[in-house]
Structure 1
Amino acid sequence: MSVIAASVLMGSAGVMGCATNPVTGQSQLSLVSESQEIEMGRSQVPAVQQSMGFVADPALQSYVSTIGMKMARASERPQLPWEFHVVDDPMVNAFAAPGGFIFVTRGILAVMNSEAELAGVLGHEIAHVTAKHSVAQMSTGLGAQLGVLAAAIISKSDAVAQGAGAVATLFTLKYGRDQETQADQIGHRYALTQRYDVREIPKTFMTLERIGAASGSASGPSFLATHPDPGNRVAKTQAWADTVSSYAGLMTDRDEFLTRINGMLYGADPAEGYFENGRFLHPALRFQFDVPSSWLTVNQKAAVVLGEPNGQAQIQLSGVQQSSPQAAMQAFQQQQGIQMGSAQNISLGGSPGVIAEFTATPQQGQQIRGQVLMVQHAGTVFQFVGYATAQGWGSHGGTVSSVLRSFRPTASNQVFQRARALRVVTLQRATSIATLAQQSGGAIETQALAILNGVDGNVTLPAGRRVKTVGYR
């Protein structure tokens, strides 16, 4: 977390009608015009940048954009205002906003091993736009979560609110399996048209499966959560690759890709805060708070959010502009629809604050109950707010209050995590993955390093091979 914000309900409106799908040629229900589609997508760009940030590497951004633009300009919708951005997020993910706005995380770049793999992912996301999957999902999926319903109440800044709310919408879109199969097949075609070796594409999906298996998560990495496996994905993409009559002249561009990602930040940036052993710690701002076990956690540049696993409650930390906790509390209670309980002055590890309960009814939403803490620390006033449905407050209100009251400065002797980066090295001698992991000084484990390089954990790599490893910055 570097800039902290809130989330808000995004809405969209359009005239219902039929249109011809530019990819399939079939007539389909259309809720928005192309100009509306573009505006829906364009609004996501500053929102994603504010909430998550873009990787501060112009050369890498240009590299990814150049690859994507070649495929997009050769697609069925070349007239769209296509943009491609590398998001500063460690999650293994890629996503498409309507109208031609494509995002890939540095997390997914880290686990790929060739430009052809990258082309496959970009082609897949381009296909979601050209086949109008993204606009269809956004048209039906906006405003589904409690946090989105309540956002207009807990944030007074429209700019801040639109940021995290828009990103939350993008991350909760879930394509259907038929759409995924179609995007896989169209993306294969886009990559092949640009002369990429499409035998690399199945490797990406194999890596995603390995990440899911290693994490023990039923849904796997973020990409698979929003892009569900339509079944036999690796086999299908391999079968499509096998139909290519000749691979002569097709590009893999492994060395170029590895050169481009060399030195890129790996994993979460601890300087912006991180979750560890039931706590959130922020090294730069030197504060911490407790995190309930089993709750979902998100730490982005614009928000730190905790979510009850069943979506019944949410807690969010945000920065405010007021100069004191009292002024911040007064601004909060002046929002339309807020009914405040009595406020109590409080000291949390020496940081002064004000805490109060509230009820609110967001527009077109069910009533919520919550508690808000305004606390001053390190020259900044923070808003720490938790809420649930009125019916769920009895079950979750105690947890919310406990988390808010756990905010405090970190101990002076607290040891913080160190940042890590990808290092691309050329092996001087045959070296096992296990040895490479040992040489990282604890920066990465053997299994994770094997997945990073797309090899088995017991393999020995030959001398002269360029490989990825991880080291501390």
Structure 2
Amino acid sequence: MHKLTHILPFVAFLACLAFAIPTNAGLGEKLYNEFLDNDGFYDDEEWQRYVETIGGNLLEHVNTGRRDIYFFILDEPAVNAFATPDGYIFVNRGLLIFLETEDQLAAVIGHEIGHVVAEHGKKQKLTELSGKVAGIAATLMTGRREMMQVSDASAKALIAGYGREMELEADQIGAQIIARAGYSPLAVIDALQVLKDQSMFATEERGQPATYHGLFATHPQNDRRLHEIVNYALGSLPDSLTEPVGDFWKLLDGLKFGGATPRGLLSQNVFYDRGARVVIEFPPSWFVRYSQQRVTGEAKGGSNVAWVAVTPHTPDGAIDPRTFVRETLKRTELRNERDVPVGNGRTAYFAEIELADSNRLSLLAVVQLGQNVYSIRGEVGPKGDTQQFIEDFMTVLLGIRDMRPSDIQEDTSRKIRVIVAKPGMTYQELASSQNMSAKAAQVLRLLNGDYPRGEPRAGDNIKIIQ
């Protein structure tokens, strides 16, 4: 009852926003409804109003006069933000924790407004993608493009970016907007620097960078064209900078870091689906993410080595896995089909997916558990080992099981806390005091803009994880 009473005001708040949203259902509106139906929004009305107010203030300074743009925060730990052609801008809470000022947040929002105003989505024909809304929602929330096997270039643009020229145009428009609104356009470079550091850390950890679409190989501090854009925008600043909409650091204190979402809890390589009461286990060294639609794991080194995605389905009535493949998944490009035992007297459907490249291996399995049917799709990458991939794929297939009493865990989500640094304080000391992982000191450096070798300065506010 307590949880319900906590959520109801926020749901009502979102419902009120919906009355102001146009009814011609474009991609953004369909994504909005998908997130709303699947508890995809971050349950914090203060943060939502904060982002909405910043976005609304920026819209007052859009030269085209466009005002029908809407702003939302998604309850996802991935570092991502994106805009749709019909003016919906979504920011993951996982991006917020790496920012340090309201100006940086305004820069991120301004960049996304730039994509909408410049109609980059329409130019890439993204309005034609609404039929794939569930898969797109999963991919955009996590920032992992391999979660949806997208073949057309327009869908890839929405997921991975529009290319350097359009991204720079969005930076240019965004820098002008935030400058006219009284925010420092230098925050464009600062925000990209924060995100670039996070991407570099992801590369170091997993062998594959994060995929925030505004980033390119060029380092933000050395990007000549980006600096030209920002320097030009400085001329649009008013006589005085704007007063902050809110206290950014106060809002950061208590912001959820990683951990559970309404759907379930991820603990290292194991996902606990609370709603379905199912456990999905990946190999120990794999990096795992989840969305409302599926759970995806990558081998160390990223999808270039191997990846496996597990998707739950709820069929109408009982259906055997082989029939499900034919009638629901409608897969026909299969070979070496067979049944494999998965324990407790159950069997799973197992097959190879025929690919144009005969040197690559792609596998599909389907297993029924309770009311759900789970499809498991995986592929070995160009840098992967085929035999190891088969073993890892079977680990996932055999690792899908009913939840046991011992699996029921508390929400171990940690939160961002803000403290004042003392003289001589180090990130390693802070990490050790919190019993965090070996890489935790680097994570704290990332959170505080000190990656890769910086240390706290006495008297500064710093973010820690508790």
Aligned to 2:450: 455
Alpha-carbon separation, structure 2, partners of 1:53 and 1:95? 15
* TM-score, with length taken from structure 1: 0.69
Residue 39 in structure 1 maps to residue 34 in structure 2: no
Aligned to 1:88: 75
Aligned to 2:464: 469
**Superposed counterparts of 1:41-440, under 5 Å:** 41-49=28-36, 53-79=40-66, 81-139=68-126, 163-164=137-138, 168=148, 169=155, 172-217=159-204, 220-223=209-212, 226-229=213-216, 231=218, 233-235=220-222, 236=224, 237-238=226-227, 240-242=229-231, 244=234, 249-251=240-242, 253=244, 256-269=247-260, 272-274=264-266, 276=268, 279-282=269-272, 284=274, 285=277, 287-291=279-283, 297-306=288-297, 309=303, 315-321=309-315, 326=319, 333-335=326-328, 337=330, 346=341, 348=343, 350=344, 353-357=346-350, 370-376=364-370, 380-386=371-377, 400-409=393-402, 418-426=412-420, 429-430=422-423, 432-434=425-427, 435-440=429-434
8 Å contact kept, 2:253–2:418: yes
Query: CA distance change for structure 1 residues 213 and 411 in 2, over 3 Å: closer, same or farther?
Result: same
Query: CA distance change for structure 1 residues 360 and 75 in 2, over 3 Å: closer, same or farther?
Result: same
8 Å contact kept, 2:254–2:416: yes
**Counterpart of 1:298 in 2: which secondary structure?**
strand
Unaligned runs of 5+ in 2: 1-21, 142-147, 149-154, 355-361, 381-385
Aligned residue identity for 1:280: V
- Deviation at residue 128 of structure 1 after TM alignment: 1.0
Q: How many residues align?
A: 404
Q: Which of 45-54 and 263-272 deviates more?
A: 45-54
Q: Which of 261-270 and 329-338 deviates more?
A: 329-338
**Counterpart of 1:95 in 2: which secondary structure?**
strand
- Deviation at residue 328 of structure 1 after TM alignment: 7.0
**Counterpart of 1:124 in 2: which secondary structure?**
helix
Query: CA distance change for structure 1 residues 136 and 353 in 2, over 3 Å: closer, same or farther?
Result: farther
Alpha-carbon separation, structure 2, partners of 1:269 and 1:430? 35
* TM-score, with length taken from structure 2: 0.70
Alpha-carbon separation, structure 2, partners of 1:272 and 1:160? 18
Query: CA distance change for structure 1 residues 232 and 58 in 2, over 3 Å: closer, same or farther?
Result: same
Query: CA distance change for structure 1 residues 372 and 292 in 2, over 3 Å: closer, same or farther?
Result: farther
Unaligned runs of 5+ in 1: 1-34, 144-151, 153-157, 362-367
Query: CA distance change for structure 1 residues 90 and 160 in 2, over 3 Å: closer, same or farther?
Result: closer
**Counterpart of 2:311 in 1: which secondary structure?**
strand
- Deviation at residue 286 of structure 1 after TM alignment: 5.6
8 Å contact kept, 1:115–1:252: no
- Deviation at residue 300 of structure 1 after TM alignment: 1.0
Identity of aligned residues (%): 19
Per-residue deviation, residues 204-228 of structure 1 (Å, max 9, x unmatched): 12212222333335763321xx234
8 Å contact kept, 2:50–2:246: no
8 Å contact kept, 1:93–1:107: yes
8 Å contact kept, 2:271–2:280: yes
